Amino acid sequence: MITPEQTIAYAKATNDPIPEHLSGELAPPVFAIVPVWEVVVEAVMGAAPLEALALILHGEQDIRIHRPITPGMELRSAATVIGVRPKASGTSVVVRTATHAGNDLVNEQVITAFIREWTGVAYGDSAPPHDFDEALRIGPGTSVTARLDPDQTFRYSEASGDPMPIHLDDGIARRAGLPGIIAHGLCTMAFASWAAITAVGGGDPRTLRRLAVRFSRPVLPGQEITHSFWPVTPGIAQFETVSDSGDVVLRNGLAEFGEPLR
């Protein structure tokens, strides 16, 4: 069962300013990943060798919201590999999840895991597209800037249940070829979610229907990130997130809004 303490902790761990999230009335949208991690890992490991686990990178995340998660819900989640797509440097494994509360569909997610140095056998589907339209850049956009705290990865790890050491241990991160501890990609996406609700959704978290991103570069604790949104049609915006070092850290961002969900 989802508790207010869980959802509030997630909101605080992602510097979320939305009142409904901080009060425990609603879970932040990216909290949707927390109940599905175990079944996602099981699904990926059913399609890839066990030794590939250490080589997995999170490539893309696409969340479709049918109902907000609220404290008191008893959730059940299932995950299925819908596609394996080999590339020159590794293989993408595409997983679809569905989370229900009773008979009600709460959310669906498509998660793309990229496994370096492993070549799988191609089958199935790719993730649904959400490519950025470069023509949007000539029009006006809206930006939201935030800074990750020095202890952000430790707070996020505890709230999300993600203990991967590259987010917690500087030595391990550097041995993996990183400049040091990096922020969880989903933490960066969670920052983008509240920025989208603020900039595009009129501040109402019940209106968010879909949030999709591609993770492209890591963010370091203490860095400032800017989310820039460009309207496509009323209620739909594309976006990207850039760090203060000039790196695009979230690409192909898509945020869709509709009537408030109950």
State how far the Cα of 100 lies from the Cα of 74, in Å rounded to an integer: 8
Q: How many CA atoms lie within 13 A of 80 on its CB side?
A: 6
DSSP class of 18? -
Lowest-confidence pick of 6-10, 76-80, 171-175: 171-175
- pLDDT class of 261 with cuts at 50, 70, 90: confident
Instruction: Provide the β-strand partners of residue 81.
Output: 95
* CATH 3.10.129.10 matches 4-257: yes
Secondary structure of residue 74 in the 3-state scheme = coil
Q: What pLDDT was estimated at residue 54?
A: 65
Per-residue pLDDT tens digits for 131-151: 999 999 988 889 999 999 999
- pLDDT class of 259 with cuts at 50, 70, 90: very high
Residue 235, pLDDT > 80, answer yes
Residues in the chain: 262
* Both tokens assigned to 227: 């989310």
Lowest-confidence pick of 16-25, 133-142, 203-212: 133-142
**Percent of the chain topping pLDDT 70:** 98
Q: What pLDDT was estimated at residue 79?
A: 96
Per-residue pLDDT tens digits for 111-131: 998 888 778 788 888 899 999
Output 156 or 41, whichever has higher pLDDT: 156
- pLDDT class of 35 with cuts at 50, 70, 90: very high
Q: What pLDDT was estimated at residue 87?
A: 86
Per-residue pLDDT tens digits for 48-94: 777 766 667 889 999 999 999 999 999 999 999 999 988 888 888 99
Query: Helices 152-160 and 4-13 sit at what angle, rounded to 10 degrees?
Result: 160
Residue 194: φ, ψ to 5°:
-75, -25
Residue 213, pLDDT > 90, answer yes
Residue 101, pLDDT > 90, answer yes
DSSP class of 260? P
* Both tokens assigned to 62: 């696409």
Query: Which long-range contacts link 157-165 to residues 24+ away (Cβ below 8 Å)?
Result: 157/184, 158/9, 158/13, 159/6, 159/9, 159/10, 159/12, 159/13, 159/14, 160/10, 160/13, 160/33, 160/34, 160/184, 160/186, 160/187, 161/34, 161/37, 162/37, 162/186
Residue 231: φ, ψ to 5°:
-70, 140
Average pLDDT across the chain, whole number: 93
State how far the Cα of 210 lies from the Cα of 228, in Å rounded to an integer: 17
Domain ranges within the chain, ordered by starting residue? 4-257
Mean pLDDT, residues 226-255 taken together: 96
